């Protein structure tokens, strides 16, 4: 590319009335002096947290090797193509989640804190790790953090063993008394990322008038592409085509719902009827949010604790929650494990998309750290020890993949949270009940 004295700012937008589109990291955003030295721009770091409800069958989760992921377990088999970017950690616990319950599994997953036992609005928990990160990492982004879910309706009142439903509805808490609601509607998330002003109704009306959000930017896009080199033009085309495809999928879902005579009352217009299509769309929106640097911190709840969702598309018509209380019935355990594998396969697809998205000298996955797991180990007994936990990405932070780390004794999940914060450049001496950083995950210097 032609090197000029001025580089494009990292926070470069396409902007028009009602919408804003951030751009991915381009070579043209590298300062001229840096470019002359042939040193790539330093990509930002991202943190993602994906919650899997109601634990799993540990015998089908735990890798067959204690050192590497050479022998992936049945539940983790979908990670084969990305296992070089994955580390599984065995024997992690949430001591503050006891006495065991579904409510405390969800609430302690990112807080590692003890939830106040109450059915009322005097609930109290702790600030979650994502929000600790967002306070520092979110200063320079459009959204400090993004909270997403798959369940569209929140439960109210008392949900589990005398705990208020707020503990199951929300993964993220900005303070011990402030839960952050998650959004499950793809159209609303799309507008959060690309809408810019006006009420939600006005933004929806504006978007429906266009064949595509990007049509309004055609001249600006052409002008931008004339200013950058061929490599950047390819990155811009790839990113904007992903934006178009996500919008097309939302529009298709809206059209499908409009022709359905008896719509699912749990699924407003714009939500794909199939769980997998909905989940993939939500993951694609996360990809765009990271790639455009709209946010650097995301949480995603694949389903709420005690969810009675069924999965007929994979041959499991049984509600998930009753299956998790399997009573050691082999058939029930096998069906539960099938749900676990299905959830992992959706996450694996997201990792593959991140791996295929170039940024700097690596990929978006290299510059992201993602925690996937559950706050319950054995759901049949509401156990919070030996949790199913894995970390993906983070090679630029020194995290190596294709590993299975097994701790000899139960190790606080808060230690992992503290380590991930450190890798992302957020320095703390402790978090919740942590006892130290995990030196086994990677060298602690970045």
On whether the CB atoms of residues 393 and 370 are closer than 8 A, the answer is yes
The pLDDT of residue 299: 98
Q: Quote the pTM value.
A: 0.83
The pLDDT of residue 200: 52
On whether the CB atoms of residues 339 and 316 are closer than 8 A, the answer is yes
Domains in the chain, start-ordered, CATH in brackets?
1-42+185-270 (no CATH), 47-184+300-446 (3.40.720)
Tokens 């520092």: give the residue.
136
Token reading at 198: 């006006």
Give the H or E element holding residue 91: strand 86-93
On whether the CB atoms of residues 216 and 11 are closer than 8 A, the answer is no
Ordered DSSP codes for 358-413:
EETTEETTTTEEEEEE-S-S-GGGT--SS--EEEEE-GGGT---SEEEEEEEEEEH
The pLDDT of residue 246: 74
List the alpha helices (DSSP H) in 176-259: 186-194, 200-209, 218-227, 230-258
Pairwise CA distance, residues 163 & 120, whole Å: 8
Q: How are beta strands 86-93 and 195-196 bridged, if at all?
A: unpaired
Q: What is the mean pLDDT of each run of 10 residues along the chain (446 residues)?
A: 48 63 72 43 86 96 92 96 97 94 95 95 96 94 94 68 90 94 91 66 53 70 79 77 74 61 44 92 95 94 93 95 94 97 98 94 95 96 95 93 95 98 96 94 52
């Amino acid at each position: 590319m032609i090197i000029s004295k001025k580089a494009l700012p990292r926070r470069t937008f396409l902007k028009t009335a009602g919408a804003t589109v951030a751009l991915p990291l381009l070579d043209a955003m590298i300062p001229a002096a840096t470019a002359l030295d042939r040193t790539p721009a330093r990509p930002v770091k991202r943190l993602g947290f994906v919650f899997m409800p109601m634990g799993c069958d540990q015998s089908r989760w735990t890798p067959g090797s204690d050192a590497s992921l050479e022998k992936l377990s049945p539940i983790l088999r979908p990670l084969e193509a990305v296992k070089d970017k994955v580390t599984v950690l065995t024997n992690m616990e949430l001591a503050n989640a006891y006495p065991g319950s579904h409510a405390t599994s969800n609430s302690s997953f990112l807080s590692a804190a003890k939830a106040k036992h109450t059915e009322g609005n005097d609930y109290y928990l702790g600030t979650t790790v994502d929000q600790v990160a967002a306070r520092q990492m979110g200063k320079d982004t459009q959204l400090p953090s993004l909270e997403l879910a798959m369940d569209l309706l929140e439960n109210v009142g008392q949900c589990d063993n005398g705990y208020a439903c707020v503990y199951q509805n929300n993964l993220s808490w900005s303070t011990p008394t402030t839960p952050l609601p998650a959004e499950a509607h793809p159209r609303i998330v799309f507008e959060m990322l690309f809408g810019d002003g006006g009420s939600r109704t006005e933004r929806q009306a504006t978007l429906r008038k266009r064949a595509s959000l990007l049509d309004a930017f055609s001249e600006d896009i052409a002008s931008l592409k004339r200013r950058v080199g061929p490599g950047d033009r390819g990155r811009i085309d790839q990113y904007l085509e992903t934006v178009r495809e996500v919008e097309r999928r939302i529009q298709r879902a809206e059209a499908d719902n409009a022709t359905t005579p008896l719509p699912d009352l749990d699924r407003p217009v714009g939500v794909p009827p199939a769980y997998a299509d909905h989940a993939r769309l939500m993951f694609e929106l996360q990809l765009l949010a990271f790639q455009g640097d709209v946010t650097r911190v995301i949480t995603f709840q694949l389903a709420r604790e005690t969810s009675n969702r069924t999965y007929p598309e994979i041959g499991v018509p049984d509600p998930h929650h009753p299956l998790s209380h399997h009573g050691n019935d082999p058939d029930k355990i096998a069906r539960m494990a099938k749900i676990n594998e299905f959830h992992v396969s959706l996450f694996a697809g997201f990792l593959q998309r991140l791996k295929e998205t170039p940024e700097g000298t690596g990929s978006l996955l290299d510059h992201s750290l993602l925690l996937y797991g559950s706050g319950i180990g054995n759901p049949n007994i509401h156990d919070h020890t030996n949790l199913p936990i894995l970390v993906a990405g983070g090679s630029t932070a020194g995290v190596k993949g294709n590993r299975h780390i097994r701790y000899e004794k139960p190790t606080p999940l808060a230690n992992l949270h503290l380590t991930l914060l450190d890798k992302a450049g957020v320095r703390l001496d402790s978090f919740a009940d942590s006892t130290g950083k995990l030196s086994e995950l990677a060298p602690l210097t970045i």
